[in-house]
């Protein structure tokens, strides 16, 4: 049975089956071949995997992010960020990175962040003289910050899978997200100096005031989400709903850059993307349940803890495993399947569950821009028709910076926990 659960999904993946289907087929084969259970357990577990209140936040955050992209909020946020960074060397790619970080605070999915940021900043980088390799690598890697900077759908899914506070995970994700963004920024500055691109730009206090005034309503979305959650006014799920209402109000009544047709189009797109995520979550939940009832989860805990190594060695092994898994699986699937296996290991070793959750999500975040199956890579290729080899080459420095950030976060827990303690 164990070899079927491990080998069959890999074989089906190589054959080109979509993730949800290969997990469903594997679960069905295992249930029929090795368990004497009624088939009703399949749809019961599929339903139970989605019967979580916190998952209601997913469609709302997707809808709010999409509508903000359509309704002028993202353009004004980009101008605000550009007004802050205008005096720095490499200010155009640095603006792209800063915009990705801020957009992560109003969105929740890496693919949405990659598309929104790339559409606005990729042409500007190319016009400034940055080559296709660097520009595509930055857009692809920068979009992944959405997975760490709250609100994050990946953190919501981990919180559900590990029965951990989503609010605490949101707060703990801020520090690691900023660390990764900082290392990306250092590389961007170094690259700009090395290639000798001189961009014409300077800081203007007048432009900063104008950008701030114009983008005040846009920045309000971030204030509502964070302020509402950490003041205790509403939960993350309620914050998602309020953010959606706020996005409709600002884009339709204040900026007047959307009409009812576009609002409904955003709603339809949110339903479509939510369905894609939820079908994976439901099937991965069934597979994770089989991992538990079959004894694989318990055996995994015993195997890892029997190594008798220091916790830092075990964390290193887990990081290597997760980085490898992230190259092939999307974060939602990996989180649902692996959290029941790895969370008990962290508890046994005495690792803070919030800190461990950030480590897991950060690993899988790196996977979103790591070849061959990083989701953000596909988005970048679809948007800009960039050859795979060019994107891969441009991503190498960002993957290195991200792994350095991962090591810092893994072995310095305060990067995650200090902001959490301050806000919660």
pLDDT at 414: 95
Q: What is the pTM of this model?
A: 0.89
Query: Rounded to whole angstroms, how far apart are CA atoms 231 and 318?
Result: 35
Q: Of the candidates 122, 162, 127, which has an alpha carbon nearest to the alpha carbon of residue 142?
A: 122
pLDDT for the residue numbered 5: 73
C-alpha span between 378 and 233 (Å, rounded): 38
Report the pLDDT value the prediction gives residue 247, as an integer from 0 to 100.
Answer: 92
Q: What is the mean pLDDT of each run of 10 residues along the chain (424 residues)?
A: 74 80 87 82 88 88 88 88 83 91 80 84 90 94 89 91 92 95 95 81 84 89 86 88 93 92 93 88 86 75 71 89 85 86 86 95 93 83 86 94 97 94 83
pLDDT at 201: 67
Structure confidence at residue 226 (pLDDT) = 85
**Selection from 361, 375, 371 nearest residue 394 by Cα:** 371
Q: How far apart are the C-alpha atoms of 263 and 71, rounded to whole Å?
A: 9
Nearest partner of 362 among 350, 354, 371, 372, judged by Cα: 354
- Kindly state the tokens that stand for 118: 């790339």
Which pLDDT score is estimated for 12? 81
Angle at 234 between CA 169 and CA 168, to 5 degrees: 15
The dihedrals phi and psi of 89, each to the nearest 5 degrees, come to -65, 135
């Amino acid at each position: 049975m164990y070899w079927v659960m491990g080998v069959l999904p890999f074989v089906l993946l190589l054959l080109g089956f979509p993730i949800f289907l290969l997990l469903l087929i594997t679960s069905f084969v295992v249930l029929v071949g090795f368990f004497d259970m009624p088939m009703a357990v399949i749809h019961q577990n599929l339903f139970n995997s989605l019967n979580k209140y916190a998952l209601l936040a997913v469609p709302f955050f997707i809808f709010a992010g999409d509508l903000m992209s359509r309704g002028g909020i993202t353009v004004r946020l980009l101008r605000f960020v550009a007004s802050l960074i205008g005096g720095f060397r490499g200010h155009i790619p640095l603006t792209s990175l800063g915009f990705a970080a801020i957009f992560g605070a109003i969105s929740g999915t890496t693919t949405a962040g990659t598309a929104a940021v790339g559409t606005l900043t990729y042409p500007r980088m190319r016009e400034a003289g940055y080559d296709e390799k660097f520009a595509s690598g930055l857009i692809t890697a920068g979009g992944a910050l959405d997975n760490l900077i709250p609100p994050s759908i990946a953190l919501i899914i981990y919180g559900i899978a590990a029965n951990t506070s989503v609010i605490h995970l949101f707060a703990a994700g801020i520090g690691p997200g900023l660390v990764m963004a900082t290392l990306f920024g250092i590389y961007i500055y170094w690259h700009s100096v090395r290639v000798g691109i001189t961009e014409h730009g300077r800081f203007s206090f007048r432009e900063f005031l104008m950008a701030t005034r114009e983008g005040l309503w846009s920045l309000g979305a971030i204030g509502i989400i964070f302020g509402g959650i950490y003041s205790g006014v509403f939960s993350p799920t309620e914050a998602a709903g309020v953010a959606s209402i706020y996005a409709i109000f600002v884009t339709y009544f204040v900026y007047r850059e959307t009409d009812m047709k576009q609002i409904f189009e955003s709603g339809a797109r949110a339903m479509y993307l939510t369905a894609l995520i939820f079908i994976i979550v439901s099937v991965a939940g069934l597979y994770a349940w089989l991992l538990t009832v079959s004894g694989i989860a318990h055996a995994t805990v015993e195997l890892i803890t029997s190594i008798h190594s220091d916790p830092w060695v075990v964390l290193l092994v887990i990081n290597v495993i997760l980085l490898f898994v992230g190259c092939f699986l999307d974060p939602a699937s990996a989180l649902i399947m692996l959290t029941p296996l790895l969370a008990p290991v962290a508890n046994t070793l005495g690792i803070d569950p919030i800190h461990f959750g950030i480590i897991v999500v950060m690993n899988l975040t790196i996977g979103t821009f790591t070849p061959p199956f990083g989701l953000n890579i596909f988005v970048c290729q679809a948007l800009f028709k960039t050859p795979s080899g060019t994107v891969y080459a441009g991503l190498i420095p960002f993957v290195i910076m991200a792994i350095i950030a991962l090591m810092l976060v893994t072995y310095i827990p305060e990067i995650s926990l200090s902001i959490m303690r301050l806000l919660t």
